[in-house]
A and B are shown apart, each in its own frame.
Chain A
Amino acid sequence: MLRNIVLSTLRRDVYTKPVAALLAVGWAASVALASLGSTFAAVVTAINMLSLISSLVAMVGSAIFTAGDREGLLEVYLSGGGRPRYAAARLVANAVVSALLALAVSAPYVAVRQIAAPLAAALLASVPSSIVGTVLGLAYSNRAALAAVVVWAALALLYDVVVAFLSLILPLGDVAILAIQLANFLKLPSILATTAVDPYLLTLGPLGDFITAHWGLGLAQAAVGSVYAAWLIALVLFYTDTARRMDL
């Protein structure tokens, strides 16, 4: 069933207008980022931007893929494999297709600059985003894509604005800022990828100073990687529970 759903998603959904439009925007951004050069700041910018774009493509795409099953295929999948197998296959298929889309978005940058860190950030960002998108696709049939855009904007954009505002009115210390960053799974891929190109974490500012002073680079990578893995496990468990209980 997994192979069938992956192939069906590629044939049925990837060439639809919303996904194609997102891909086109991603390619434009990828080319623009490559044109910035290979300087330290340009690479970190590419990491952040490709991570954000890939998470958007993965979240919206997965929501569309899942909701799209209701157009003549959901009943067939349930009859063919039952709800647990369908839910598992849809989750894995969305993660695979989202990773392929992240690869496609990053391809122009990698082809021009041949630097792997932005690609790694894009791939890492696509997986948790695809899980959230799949949940939204189960929950919403007609407005799944809109729900995905709203959730992505809240996590990727509004989150930073709120944190910046809070830091103005509250005395947030380094530990609090670090915790806030780790509490958002969309931030973790870019932090992890940044550690690969910025060993002293200068681009993270005071946060980078704090991490390198207290943990060192190796421990910081392990800690952030562990938090990322924990987020993945939590999201998969949340999805599993949602898929088990929700009316489809």
Chain B
Amino acid sequence: MEVEVSLRKRFRGFSLELDASWSGPALFLGPNGSGKSTALRCMAGLYKCNGWVKIGGRPASEREFLYVPPAPRVPPTLTVEEYLNHVSEVLDVDVKPILGVDGFLKKRGSELSSGMAARVVLAAALSSGKALLLDEPLLYLETSARLELVRALRGRLFVAATHDPSLFIPLEPAVVQISEGRAAAVGSWASLKALVLRRCGGELCVGEEEPKAVAGYVA
């Protein structure tokens, strides 16, 4: 599924001017403050931005996406079960108890750890048929939940902004490198695979002048 975005958003001291197209799932990569989250929030309709988003050549509205923030929260006074039921009714879907959320259905939002809240919100998102906009989806998850999340994303249309792309390689995502609000490069998952095999001192390097730089990350 071809995805095209042309997004404009201006803040004080920062301007997003993102033009990119890719096919299937994608990763937004880039340093802190480069505009990855802003782009996702524009696509989700949380920010009012100029421009457009197209899926399969036709304009897409915010109703075709579901955004998951980097620090997902469950309303503190609702139980997980009440929250999931509410999401089911609003999105008209049957939320599946994946990512282990069935183990704490009776807990209230105020009783959840950050990781548990992330699992609840991600479980609700994964149950919807929407294209997912995942902002640092791995941030609070334990290893097993990370792997389950990646398995659940197989065959789904999603865009993930992340600093840890290695787990997504089996999903063969496109890679959009965002730098200072602009798409500096659009690469393939194969490029990313080469990149992850050769990390720079255990971390992924950005912006170094190396001949095999892929989407801003040095291979």
Contacts and interface: CB of A to CB of B under 8 A. Distances in A.
Given A80-B63, A247-B46, A16 B77 contact: yes
A143 interface: no
A41 B124 CA distance: 56
Contacts of B92: 80
A1 B63 CA distance: 13
A69 to B, nearest CB: 9
A80 B44 CA distance: 11
Contact of B74 (A11, A72, A245): A72
A4 B121 contact: no
Given A11-B82, A81-B63, A76 B77 contact: no
Contacts, number: 84
Interface string A69-87: 0111111111111110000
B90 A80 contact: yes
A246 interface: yes
Contacts of A155: none
Contact of A79 (B47, B73, B83, B128): B128
B31 interface: no
A176 B121 CA distance: 55
Contacts of A73: 75, 86
Contacts of A74: 46
A139 to B, nearest CB: 14
Contacts of B128: 79
Interface in B86-113: 86-87, 89-92, 109
Given A75-B66, A248-B46, A80 B91 contact: yes
Interface string B22-36: 000000000000000
B45 A76 contact: no
B72 A72 contact: yes
B209 to A, nearest CB: 36
A145 to B, nearest CB: 15
Given A77-B90, A83-B62, A245-B48, A72 B77 contact: no
A72 B62 CA distance: 16
Contacts of B59: none
A78 B46 contact: yes
Contacts of A12: 75, 77-78
Interface residues of A, number: 28
B14 to A, nearest CB: 13
Interface in A232-248: 244-248
Given A12-B78, A246-B48, A75 B67 contact: yes
B192 interface: no
B78 A76 contact: no
B65 A79 contact: yes
A247 B63 CA distance: 16
B75 A72 contact: yes
Contacts of A72: 72-75, 83, 109, 117, 121
Interface in A66-111: 68, 70-83
B109 A82 contact: no
Nearest to A1: B90
A8 interface: yes
A228 to B, nearest CB: 31
B98 to A, nearest CB: 17
18 contacts: A4-B86, A4-B90, A11-B77, A12-B78, A13-B77, A68-B75, A72-B83, A75-B66, A76-B87, A76-B91, A76-B124, A77-B90, A78-B63, A79-B62, A79-B63, A80-B90, A82-B63, A247-B48
